[in-house]
Amino acid sequence: MTHVMKSGALQSDLHRKEGNSSESAVDGNRRRISNPLMFLRRWAANPLQMGSIIPSSQALCLRIARQMRRTSDQYVVELGAGTGVVSKAMLDAGLPPEKLYVVEIVPDMAKHLRDVLPGVNVIEGDARDLAQLLPEHVRGNVGTVVCGVPLVLLPLAEQKKFIDAMDAVAPGVGFLHFSYCITSPLPYQKHHLTAKREEWTPRNFPPASVWRYTPEK
C-alpha cells in the first residue's frame, strides 16, 4: 500500500527537520568557537592566564553582552578573549565586527579567534601594552572594555598595570569584569574604583558575576 502524506503534514515535517538542522548547525558552530579542548590545554599550561578550565557559558556571555555601552561610532575592546565565546555573544547582540578589538596573548588562541570571528580585529599581544597595541583612532573612542583576564589571581601591582592600561585607552569609562567570586574580585577601593555587580548567573560552572568598575570621581 502506498503511503500518502498530506501536504500540511509534509510541510510540518519539513519545517521540523529544517528547524532541527538549523539548531544543530548553531550548536555545532558554538562548539567550534568554544573549543573546550583547546581551552583546557591552555588552562593546564598556564592557569593564571585562563582562570577557568572551561569557556564561559552561553548564559554568562549573554549577560556580558547586554551590559555593553557604546555609541554607533565607538569601539568595544575585549582583553583575554580566549576562544571567542564572549566576542560571539557581543556580535550576536548587534556589535559590528569591525567595531570589536580583541586582545589575546596566547598565539594559538589568537589564530583560533581569527578563524572563527571573521571581520573582528584580533591582536596577539599583552593587554598591559594596550595603548601601544590599539590603533590611534581607537584610543579614546572606546565605549566598553571587557576584561576576561583573571585579575583576582594577580598581586595588587599587576592588577594595577591592567587597570591603568584599560584607562589609558578608555579614560573614565571603566571596564566590565566577569568573575566566579562571591564578592568583588578586585579590592576596588585600593585601585580608586567604584564597583557594581551588574549580573549574576547560576547557569555557569562555577556560578559567575559580571562586575562594572569605574574610576572614582
* Mean pLDDT of the 139-152 span: 95
Domain contains 2: no
Highest mean pLDDT, choosing among 131-135, 199-203, 205-209: 131-135
Domain match, 116 and 165 both: yes
For the cut 70, the answer to whether the pLDDT of residue 46 exceeds it is no
Domain match, 30 and 42 both: no
Domain match, 118 and 198 both: yes
Question: Into how many domains does the chain fold?
Answer: 2
Domain match, 13 and 44 both: no
What is the edge-to-edge ordering of all strands in the sheet holding 193-201? Answer: 121-124, 100-104, 75-79, 142-147, 175-179, 208-215, 193-201
Domain contains 1: no
pLDDT at residue 17, as a whole number: 45
Query: Whole domain around residue 26: which residue ranges?
Result: 7-34
Q: Cβ(173)–Cβ(165) under 8 Å?
A: no
Domain match, 58 and 28 both: no
Q: What is the pTM of this model?
A: 0.77
